[in-house]
Structure 1
């Protein structure tokens, strides 16, 4: 298992995962205090409706979501 760390791309992935694992909880706590926690969820659902309407009309979903 330790020999997997001899690959440079796995070393970078491990470092990136550790950094995200440290920063994400801190950022999440900050956003909860600022009451911004549901903005990303709202934007995702709004764009999902645009994708569904665009797909139903035969448009490109990426353009319909915007």
Structure 2
């Protein structure tokens, strides 16, 4: 019975580890996506300021 309990404990710990790895990967992807969105927004804002593009929703182009 001790071997069975040890195996169950090992499986539970492995499951916890995998859950943590998946959560870390999810957070990494979320951060990467947020950075890409921020970079795209900065590029669009810069292009608007330089009058290279017009964005009807932007306060910069409403003048």
Q: Normalising by structure 1, what TM-score?
A: 0.40
Ranked by relative contact order (alpha carbons within 8 Å, sequence separation 6 or more), the top structure is 1
TM (norm. structure 2) is 0.41
**Bigger Rg, structure 1 or 2:** 2
